[in-house]
Structure 1
């Protein structure tokens, strides 16, 4: 019984080492590109409320792999890697990062691996984080063409 357990532990350790050695380590010594990356929607130079949902986006640069690092002065940075260019930021970590840095700056680094295996690093996208949260509800006034005449107001 003890021998079986030893073999199992040896197998699990070898498998973990083999899988770990196959992983792509990400952008090492990337080439600097002197412009912002093309992303949709364009979230460059904006003010982000601290209670807004994650600002997911798509990277419109040709490449095989994409890595995005979202960080600020305090809190744990968020790193997202994908092969499609669609960046989906985890909601809980996004909320924690924005809450910890309300009134500060939010930075986004974008790395793209090109067809020839070279990593490109684009200029950092810097956004401001607002100190005050946005309202949780919006109210719209019901307006028809006849609303221009005096009558009781409706919501």
Structure 2
């Protein structure tokens, strides 16, 4: 239901979204495109699974990646901004995290950072998810869509 709400909310406002996805590898964009009319609101997406692509495709600061690794709240924020800017969208979503089963750079599986960039600035939400790789990835995609939906409601209200 969240994807349908996002598509309807964006379409009603004449706005668009783009994604830069790491651990979800495109799941957010897939969810959006399950909704009829998605082509009016989804500009595109970047799958930046490899750390170097976070920098080269999404514009994440190389020094940030070197100092903190790929799983960090500021990386999520920069991914969202990069998606928004590079795809020419009103809104950008950026996701990074650890789907497991092993930790990455000392970060526990289930840790997910979701960045949102929009007309009034950027924000990051961090969640912790229990479950296997699939459950973590799907929960992250749902949480990203919920974050955008909530901001659309705030901006409308």
Provide the TM-score with structure 2 as the length reference: 0.30
Structure number with greater Rg is 1
Provide the TM-score with structure 1 as the length reference: 0.30
